[in-house]
Structure 1
Amino acid sequence: MDVAEKLKKDEKEFDIIIACDTVIHFNDQIIGKPTDSEDAFRILKQLNNREHSVYTGVTLVDSSLRSTQFHEKTHVVFGNISDEVLRAYVETGEPIGRAGAYGIQLKGSALVQEVRGCYNNVVGIPIFELVKQLRLFLKK
């Protein structure tokens, strides 16, 4: 809402703002983006050969500052990956800046054994649900 309020205050025109953020839920912990390469390796070791949930929260705000929120949940299972492969993946730099320290749409796909739910949610934007929610939001 802060962005929408600032744009409104500065008299900048906009039709709709779409804001998304993705986190990982594993063992009753929220895992965001790694702080550095060692943190990325630690996160990947935690997720290795296990299932975790990916949540993306989405907020829609229109120019009248009317808003709605929703979230999407997807289950992801990592395969049993060797430390050597995990380190090599971390060394690509790809894990930095990504929730859970992997990019499923890039090299990180090699770590993933199974996805149950919306693949695009794991990428960072649950497109199908977003389009559905946009239609509902714009009808109101």
Structure 2
Amino acid sequence: MRLILASNSPRRRQLLSDLGLAYEVRLKDVDESFPAHLQRAEVAEYLAAHKASAYRADLQADEVLLTADTIVCLDEQVLNKPEDDEDAVRMLTLLQSRAHDVYTGVCLLTGDGREVVFSDQTRVHFRVLSEAEIRHYVRQYRPLDKAGAYGAQDWIGLVAVTRLEGSYFNVMGLPVHRVWEELSKLAGDLLPG
């Protein structure tokens, strides 16, 4: 089996490489809107499965596709990728001094039609941040491609995250422990060792 990653995320690429997995990247533009009635983990799983459906017809019998989507939830509010710098500042202002949940939905789809969809959740605690710190982060690190307007592996993760409950890698965009577990069931010959 060959692994296909349908993601432009350098973090997801690095995490798969760190697992020792060989993969090919394939990209398509896929609409990332979701039905309003979905909540929290449902949104992340829906988006991952929706992305996978765009590749279904192109998969070969010996391929396994991996798609993922990460969202940040503050209470019941979903914070996806910010639209611009001011939206990023708004999101980070909401998150500072609060705990929030990060969900990453993952879809594994094989060329013969088998599909596994799952998600993982991590609770993230932020300390109080000044407006100057928030604006510095947005200006210097340009988090417009990140759910909730931040990357835990960036400067803001170093200075703002006080505690995590769950997987750090899930916050980075891929719950690698679950990916490994599900890939071993679905396509064990992909895994080293």
Shared fold (TM-score, shorter chain, > 0.5): yes
Matches within 5 A, 1:1-140: 1-8=52-59, 15-109=63-157, 110-138=159-187
For the 8 Å contact 1:55–1:72, the answer to whether it is kept is yes
| Distance (Å, rounded) in 1 between the aligned partners of 2:75 and 2:102 | 13
Q: CA deviation at 1:94?
A: 2.9
Q: TM-score, normalised by structure 1?
A: 0.90
State how many pairs are aligned. 136
Q: 1:60-104 CA distances to partner (integer Å, 9 max, x unpaired)? A: 001102101000000000111111111111111431110010011
| Distance (Å, rounded) in 1 between the aligned partners of 2:92 and 2:56 | 38
Q: Greater relative contact order (Cα 8 A, min sep 6): structure 1 or 2? A: 1
Secondary structure of 1:46's partner?
helix
Q: TM-score, normalised by structure 2?
A: 0.67
Q: CA RMSD in A?
A: 1.5
Moved over 4 A (4+): none
For the 8 Å contact 1:61–1:67, the answer to whether it is kept is yes
Secondary structure of 1:96's partner?
helix
Q: Which runs of 5+ in 2 are unaligned?
A: 1-51, 189-193
Q: 1:37-65 CA distances to partner (integer Å, 9 max, x unpaired)? A: 00000000000000000000000001102
Q: CA deviation at 1:13?
A: 6.4
CA pair 111-60 structure 1, distance change in 2 beyond 3 A: same
Identity value in percent: 32
| Distance (Å, rounded) in 2 between the aligned partners of 1:4 and 1:62 | 10
Q: Which runs of 5+ in 1 are unaligned?
A: none
